[in-house]
Each structure stands twice: as structure tokens, then as C-alpha cells.
């Protein structure tokens, strides 16, 4: 394990602004200590994930740095439409990029209009301010043409770092799946050029199994949350899911399965951090990148527990698996396109499958209500909220729509609305 001096040297070597980054180091441990650490009744095996998060800018970026020193390449990604399997099969490492904290928003404000969602601002700020080791260590960013804000942000970012942009179709007809297959082939070409490696059938088969195993572990974790009492808080489950975007996939899978063994024992003993009759909430909406625990913290300190996230930091990331039984490279790439196009992002039209998913989760996880979380200025998700509300009303599922950003300014206002919602669903 690298020493703090070695990590600091690495930050300097990859071009980070050490002084500005010290500002992040001054606030981040406080966020963890205030929101995650004080929870009662946490499982013991969550400790691994605590360590990953508390050393998030040190331990894993150092591994990526070492990979590069051996000639390997690192790909930074922003969206769950990027097929990590391909990058892995080409000897690369893909990693999520920073974009989940208010600390980076002012950096993004310098390049973007005020009415841009905080996720995009934060992502841009973390790169341009040189305060994210993941953004600095990456050789190439993979962007995607999903929402308008991201599409334009990539054009600005591409002046600073090589970018490959994937076009994500906005409908799910047969011809759209075919188009996404072609997009994956183009990604293969870019990644082959960067890594100098040729994509091979057996390497991709291994990559598919590795990433599927990560998804299987996350699905297993999520299923434990159907129990009452829940064996793990929503905040801790979200933290594990967030770690999945950064950690080594094989180690992550192993550690998540070890955690799940403990959660299974807790279910047998009917143990958990909240009483069995605690109101249960499914959260749906925009992604919550690390360390965005704002909504979960408000819900779980207002008398309810989050039992599932229909989100890109939730089921959209891991529910569907890639078919492992294709017999050639062409079949494998098609299988990837088929799997990734099952993701129900609001950038698609129509997108009623997302409402069907939310209703299914509300039933499977025995939820008392659904909270729809939209990041401010995200037109896609806030407009889709209307359709979601109607679909849930037809099923008689209580629904609350909240719009917020990364700051703490509206926290008490949100708390009042969440508490009122919990009161309603309790009665
Ligand atoms: S919400 Fe849509 S655009 Fe955003 S990460 Fe998820 S799939 Fe990608
Ligand atoms: S939250 Fe909405 S506006 Fe922001 S990046 Fe995601 S889809 Fe785009």
C-alpha cells in the first residue's frame, strides 16, 4: 500500500493543483464523519467500503497510476451506457469520474450557464480545477450523447483531454439497437488505437463475466433490502453502489459478496439498523455520484429507510446482465448493445419501462412510497416526473417529487417536505 508521501507525489506527477485539492481534503472527511459514520447498527463488513471511500483520492488512483506506469491505459467514464467490458478486454481500466460534490461546482460555473445541472458543473469543475485524481490520471474520457447539457459539455472538455463520444440512440427500435452496436464497434476502434491491443473473443468473454459478476453481487446486495427489517441502511447500500464505479471489479465483487454473507445472517436473525415497521422508500431519478448522500441522509434521519434506488447509481447500473453465451466477437458486441439499450434513462422516448420498473420495485421491496429525485435544471427527469406521478397514482403508490442541487441551502426545506410525506404514508 502506498504511503501518504507517495500518494502526494503521485497527485503532483499527474498534474493536480495540490493547494486547491487540499481544500477538498479539508472538507471530505467531515462529510463522511457527519453522514456515514454516526449511523447505528452498521454491518461489520462495511468496513472495506468505508476505507475505500475515506481514501478515495489515494488508494484507487494510485493503482490506476501504477497501471499506467506499466504501460496500461485508463478510461474515465460518466454514464452507465459505456460498456466497461470492452475497455477491460483491451487491457484498460475504466473508472467513474468525480462529479458528486458541491466543492467542484464553482469550477464548472466558470464554463457553463447558471442553469446547468450540478452533476455536469461538478464534473467539469473537477477536471478544469485539477482537483480530481481520477480526472487527471485518465488517458481518455468516454462521453455520451444523452442529455443536451452533457453533449455540449463534452465539446468544452475535449479541448482539455482526448474524448471519445458515443452516440446513444433516443428510441429503442430494432434499428436503434443496431445503431448502438455500431457505436460500440467505434468505441472498440478508439480503445484499440489507444491501448495498442486488438480485441479478442476470449478476452471479451472474460470481461463480460467479470462485469456480470459485479452486477450479480450488486443484485444480491439489493435483494437483501427486501427483508424487514432491512439488514443495511440505504446510505450504506448507496455508498457500496457508488464504490462500484471506482473500485477494481474483481475485488469489489469479492468484498460485496462477503458483505452479503453477513447481511444474509442478519436477515436470519432479523437484525438491522432500523425497526421492522420503519416506513420504506424507493428512490428514483437522477444519479447520485459519490459523495452525494444528501437525499438518503434526509430520509433516514426523518424516520424512514431507503430500500431501493431506481437510478444510474442503483438498479439501472446492475439489474440487467450481458448474455455470456455468444459464439463470436460479433455476437458479443450485439449482446452488449442489447443489454445496454435496456437501461431506462429519461433520454429515451417513450420511456414507460422506467415507470414499470419503479412500480415493480415498489411492490418487490414492499415500499410505502416513492421519492422522485431530480437534480436542478435536469429537464429530462423533471419533465418525465409528470408521467411517473400518473403511473404511480394509478397503482395507488404515494409519490413525492423533489428537485435539489448539491448545496445544503435547501436541506431544511426538503426535510419538512420529506417528514410530511412520511407522516402521510404512515397513516
Ligand atoms: S441518467 Fe442517463 S445520461 Fe445520466 S448517467 Fe444515467 S443513463 Fe447516463
Ligand atoms: S442529471 Fe439530467 S441534466 Fe444532469 S447530466 Fe444527468 S441527464 Fe443530464
Judge whether residue 137 has pLDDT over 90. Answer: yes
Q: Is the pLDDT of residue 1 over 90?
A: no
Residue whose CA lies nearest to ligand 1 atom number 7: 345
CA of 345 to the centre of ligand 1 (A): 6
Q: Does the residue 125 lie in any domain? A: yes
Domain membership of residue 404 (yes or no) is no
Q: From the CA of 123, which ligand is nearest?
A: 2
Q: Is 343 in the pocket of ligand 1 (CB under 6 A)?
A: yes
- The answer to whether residue 323 scores a pLDDT higher than 90 is yes
Residues 172/107, Cβ–Cβ less than 8 Å = no
Cβ of 404 closer than 6 Å to ligand 1, yes or no, is: no
Q: Which residues line ligand 2 (CB under 6 A)?
A: 117, 119-120, 147, 149-150, 286, 375, 378, 380-381
Confidence of residue 298 (pLDDT cuts 50, 70, 90): very high
* 105 C-alpha to ligand 2 centroid (Å): 14
- Report whether pLDDT(208) > 90: yes
- 103 close to 40: Cβ distance less than 8 angstroms: no
Ligand 2 atom having least distance to the Cα of 120: 5
Give the ligand with the smallest distance to the CA of 100: 2
Grid cell locating 246: 471506482
Question: Is residue 108, in this structure, part of any structural domain at all?
Answer: yes
> Does residue 230 lie within any of the structural domains?
no
345 CB under 6 A from ligand 1?
Answer: yes
* Cβ 290 vs Cβ 219: under 8 Å: no
- pLDDT tens, 254-288? 999 999 999 999 999 999 999 999 999 999 999 99
Pairing assessment for the beta strands 140-145 and 163-167 based on DSSP bridges: parallel
Retrieve residue 330's grid coordinates: 460479433
Percent of the chain scoring above 90 in pLDDT:
99
Q: Are the C-beta atoms of residues 129 and 17 closer than 8 Å to each other?
A: yes
Identify the pLDDT of residue 205.
98
Ligand with minimal distance to 343 CA: 1
Q: Which numbered atom of ligand 1 lies nearest the CA of 381?
A: 1
Closest ligand by atom to 80 CA? 1
Closest atom of ligand 2 to 286 CA is 1
pLDDT at 248 over 90: yes
Q: Is residue 32 part of a domain?
A: yes
| pLDDT average, residue stretch 191-209 | 98
CA distance 181 to 202: 19
Instruction: Decide whether any atom of ligand 1 lies within 6 Å of the 80 Cβ.
Output: yes
Nearest alpha carbon, ligand 2 atom 3: 378
Q: pLDDT digits over 307-320, tens only?
A: 999 999 999 999 99
Site to probe by mutation for ligand 2, drawn from 116, 121, 149 as the one with most ligand atoms within 8 Å of Cβ, is 149
- Residue 101 maps to a domain: yes
Q: How far apart are the first and last CA of the chain?
A: 52
Percentage of residues of the chain with pLDDT beyond 70? 100
Is 204 close to ligand 1, i.e. is its CB under 6 Å away?
A: no
Mean pLDDT of 382-401: 98
For the CA of 346, the closest atom of ligand 2 is: 7
**Residue 379, in any domain of the structure:** no
Q: Place 427 in a pLDDT band, splitting at 50, 70 and 90.
A: confident
Of residues 196, 122, 166, the one with CA closest to residue 376: 122
Q: Is 347 in the pocket of ligand 1 (CB under 6 A)?
A: yes
- For residue 346, give the ligand 1 atom closest to its CA: 2
> Residue of the nearest CA to atom 6 in ligand 2?
286
We report the CATH number of the domain holding residue 16 as 3.40.50.11890
Tell me the three-class secondary structure of the chain, residue by residue.
Answer: CCCHHHHHHHHHHCCCCHHHHHHHHHHHHHHHHHHCCCCCCCCHHHHHHHHHHHCCCCHHHHHHHHHHHCCCCEEEECCCCCCHHHHHHCCCEEEECCCCCHHHHHHHHCCCCCCCCHHHHHHHHHHHCCCCHHHHHCCEEEEEECCHHHHHHHHHHCCCCCEEEEECCCCCCHHHHHHHHHHHHHHHHHHHHHHCCCCCHHHHHHHHHHHHHHHHHHHHHHHHCCCCCCCCCHHHHHHHHHHHCCCCHHHHHHHHHHHHHHHHHHHHCCCCCCCCCCCEEEEEECCCCCCCCHHHHHHHCCCCEEEEEECCCCHHHHCCCCCCCCCCHHHHHHHHHHHHCCCCCCCCCCCHHHHHHHHHHHHHCCCCEEEEEEECCCHHHHHHHHHHHHHHHHHCCCEEEEEECCCCCCHHHHHHHHHHHHHHHHC
Please say whether the beta carbons of 58 and 77 come within 8 A: no
Domain count, the chain: 1
CA 71 to ligand 2 center in whole angstroms:
34
Q: Which domain holds residue 106?
A: 4-187
CA distance 205 to 180: 19
Is 402 among the domain residues? no
Amino acid at each position: 500500500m502506498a504511503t501518504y508521501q507517495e500518494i502526494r507525489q503521485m497527485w503532483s506527477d499527474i498534474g493536480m493543483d495540490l493547494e486547491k485539492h487540499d481544500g477538498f481534503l479539508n472538507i471530505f472527511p467531515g462529510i463522511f464523519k457527519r453522514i456515514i459514520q454516526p449511523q447505528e447498527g452498521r454491518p461489520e463488513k462495511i468496513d472495506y467500503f468505508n476505507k475505500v471511500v475515506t481514501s478515495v483520492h489515494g488508494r484507487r488512483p494510485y493503482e490506476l497510476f501504477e497501471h499506467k506506469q506499466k504501460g496500461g491505459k485508463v478510461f474515465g467514464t460518466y454514464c452507465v451506457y459505456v460498456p466497461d467490458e470492452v475497455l477491460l478486454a483491451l487491457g484498460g481500466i475504466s473508472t467513474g469520474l468525480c462529479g458528486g460534490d458541491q466543492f467542484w461546482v464553482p469550477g464548472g460555473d466558470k464554463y457553463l450557464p447558471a442553469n446547468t445541472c450540478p452533476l455536469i458543473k461538478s464534473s467539469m469543475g473537477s477536471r478544469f480545477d485539477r482537483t480530481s485524481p481520477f480526472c487527471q490520471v485518465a488517458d481518455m474520457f468516454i462521453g455520451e450523447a444523452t442529455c443536451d447539457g452533457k453533449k455540449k459539455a463534452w465539446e468544452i472538455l475535449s479541448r482539455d483531454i482526448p474524448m471519445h463520444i458515443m452516440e446513444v440512440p433516443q428510441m429503442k427500435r430494432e434499428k436503434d439497437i443496431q445503431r448502438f452496436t455500431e457505436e460500440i464497434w467505434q468505441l472498440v476502434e478508439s480503445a484499440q488505437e489507444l491501448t495498442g491491443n486488438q480485441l479478442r473473443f476470449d478476452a471479451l468473454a472474460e470481461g463480460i463475466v467479470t462485469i456480470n459478476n459485479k452486477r450479480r453481487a450488486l443484485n444480491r446486495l439489493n435483494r437483501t433490502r427486501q427483508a424487514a427489517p432491512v439488514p443495511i441502511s440505504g446510505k450504506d447500500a448507496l455508498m457500496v453502489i457508488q464504490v462500484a464505479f471506482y473500485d477494481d471489479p474483481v475485488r469489489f465483487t469479492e468484498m460485496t459478496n462477503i458483505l452479503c454473507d453477513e447481511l444474509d445472517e442478519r436477515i436470519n436473525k432479523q437484525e438491522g439498523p432500523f425497526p421492522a415497521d420503519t416506513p420504506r422508500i424507493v428512490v428514483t431519478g437522477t444519479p447520485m455520484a459519490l459523495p452525494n448522500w444528501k437525499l438518503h441522509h434526509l430520509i433516514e434521519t426523518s424516520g424512514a429507510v431507503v430500500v431501493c434506488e431506481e437510478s444510474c447509481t442503483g438498479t439501472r447500473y446492475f439489474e440487467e446482465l450481458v448474455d455470456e453465451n455468444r459464439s463470436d466477437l460479433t455476437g458479443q458486441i450485439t449482446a452488449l448493445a442489447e443489454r445496454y439499450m435496456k437501461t431506462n434513462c429519461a433520454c429515451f422516448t417513450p420511456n414507460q419501462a422506467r415507470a414499470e420498473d419503479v412500480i415493480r420495485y415498489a411492490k418487490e421491496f414492499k415500499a410505502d412510497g416513492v421519492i422522485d429525485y431530480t437534480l436542478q435544471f435536469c429537464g429530462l427527469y423533471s419533465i418525465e416526473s409528470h408521467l411517473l406521478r400518473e403511473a404511480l397514482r394509478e397503482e395507488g403508490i404515494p409519490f413525492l417529487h423533489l428537485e435539489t442541487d448539491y448545496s445544503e441551502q435547501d436541506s431544511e426545506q426538503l426535510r419538512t417536505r420529506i417528514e410530511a410525506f412520511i407522516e402521510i404514508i404512515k397513516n
